[in-house]
Structure 1
Amino acid sequence: MRLLLINPNTSQATTQAMVGIARESAPSVEIDGLSAPFGVPLITGPAELAIGRDAVVTLMAARPPFGYQGVIVAAFGDPALDELRRTVAVPVTGIAEAGMAEAAHHGRFAVVTTTPDLTESIAARADAYGHGDSFLGTVLTAVRQLGARAIVIGGGPLAVAAREIANQLPVPVIEPVPAAVRLAIRRAERTAQEM
């Protein structure tokens, strides 16, 4: 199986870090990565998220994912997820979508983020994915104060932080890139069975 991980920002180092995280979570799957052809090196707010969306749409129009069984959009705002689902022939998975879905299996959850300007976007995504009732917000104190049953790390390349936080919390900490790989594999397998 082959998956394509698309980083909606221009940082090659970030792309390679997320590809490494993805490969570690599924060693038997071939995972390649592409960075946005234009835009910003770090998505920190709604304007950068919109630029990332445009960059991903442009990238996939120029380089359709031929030979891949799934595509992962690897920015926590899932930019261009809906557009790609309408235009590419393979299942498309967002890291926020996958992380939130996995966390919601545990009950109420929160998202830890280093980008406070994206908290409204994260809340909107949680609602759009049907997790509005389970989503408690984007605060680390959610475990103790709000009763979160899981935490989602709100950024693809933050695996080290996720692992450090996991040791300090009594609830599951969901890394979004491995969650997206797991969901993308399930979707690709389901698509292959339907053919």
Structure 2
Amino acid sequence: MSGRRILLINPNSLEATTAMMVAIARSEVPDGFDIVGATATRAPPMIVSADALDAAAPEVEEIAGAHRNLYDGMIVAAFGDPGLTGIRSALKLPAVGIGEASMRAAAEGGRRFGVATTTPLLEARIDALPEALGLRSSYTGTRFADGDPHDLMRDPERLRAALAGAVEACIVQDGAEAVIIGGGPLGEAARKLQPMFTVPIIAPIPSAVARIIGLITARAAG
């Protein structure tokens, strides 16, 4: 498995977010794998609406297509998985999205799971993911951090506190047995929140890394 390369595509246009997500992903990969980042240029710095999510999909597919011969697998690193369906249709490569991967991880063992995130305008899209994955009966719903998403991202301490409140609501009010921190740009916050709770706090980037490595390994084994 020496020299396997994974492309992490950031559908948001902020290079600093890409660097953060790549650093998290690299900390999760075993020897013989590497993660490289690619950043969208036509999207906003942070996708917070359904329209922006839809608009991001074509560029994500373009990035994937331009790198199709250079990588062994791809990760779409925005929680709505924009462009993932198109990548799978067009390319003969393993590809995963952080939304899909984290929901599959959260639901392992029949756990009931919720999502804590910052983007209320994406609620309908988040709700659609477990339906598409056949996990609707395990999904307890999404809770949103108090505050404007952009303001929260500028203040890591406030972001963590607001997300902690949303996680608590998922557990106490909704009965979630695992909670996903819903968003690639929330990767660092997810790590800080994990030791604060007794239920599993699912970080999407490590979930996607584990899933893509499994797919690449299975494909190589034939």
Q: Please classify the TM superposition score into its range, dividing by the shorter chain length.
A: over 0.9
What amino acid does structure 2 have at the position aligned with 1:46?
A
Match of 2:5 in 1: 2
Match of 2:41 in 1: 37
Work out whether 1:158 is the aligned partner of 2:162.
no
Q: 1:48 aligns with which of 31, 49, 52?
A: 52
Distance 1:57 1:65 in 2: 10
Question: Would the aligned equivalents of 1:64 and 1:88 in 2 still touch at CA under 8 Å?
Answer: no
Match of 1:87 in 2: 90
Q: By percentage of residues, which structure has more helix?
A: 2
Work out whether 1:74 is the aligned partner of 2:77.
yes
Distance 1:91 1:163 in 2: 26
Matched residue count: 193
Unaligned runs of 5+ in 2: 144-165
Q: 1:131 aligns with which of 132, 135, 142?
A: 135
Ranges of 4+ aligned residues in structure 1 off by more than 6 Å: none
Question: Would the aligned equivalents of 1:4 and 1:33 in 2 still touch at CA under 8 Å?
Answer: yes
Pick which of 44-53 and 163-172 moved more: 163-172
- What's the CA shift string for 1:14-55, capped at 9, x where partnerless? 111110110011152210010113221110010110111121
Distance 1:68 1:174 in 2: 26
Q: 2:104 aligns with which of 92, 101, 104?
A: 101
Distance 1:79 1:73 in 2: 7
- Tell me the SS of whatever aligns to 2:192: helix
TM superposition shift of 1:59? 2.1
Work out whether 1:60 is the aligned partner of 2:64.
yes
What amino acid does structure 2 have at the position aligned with 1:82?
T
TM superposition shift of 1:161? 1.7
* TM-score normalised by length of structure 2: 0.83
Question: Would the aligned equivalents of 2:61 and 2:84 in 1 still touch at CA under 8 Å?
Answer: no
Work out whether 1:191 is the aligned partner of 2:219.
yes
Question: Would the aligned equivalents of 2:8 and 2:36 in 1 still touch at CA under 8 Å?
Answer: yes
- Tell me the SS of whatever aligns to 1:102: helix
* TM-score normalised by length of structure 1: 0.94
Match of 1:178 in 2: 206
Match of 2:197 in 1: 169
Pick which of 152-161 and 124-133 moved more: 152-161
Question: Would the aligned equivalents of 2:8 and 2:37 in 1 still touch at CA under 8 Å?
Answer: yes
Question: Would the aligned equivalents of 2:74 and 2:94 in 1 still touch at CA under 8 Å?
Answer: yes
Unaligned runs of 5+ in 1: none
TM superposition shift of 1:119? 1.1
Distance 1:14 1:161 in 2: 12
What amino acid does structure 1 have at the position aligned with 2:88?
R
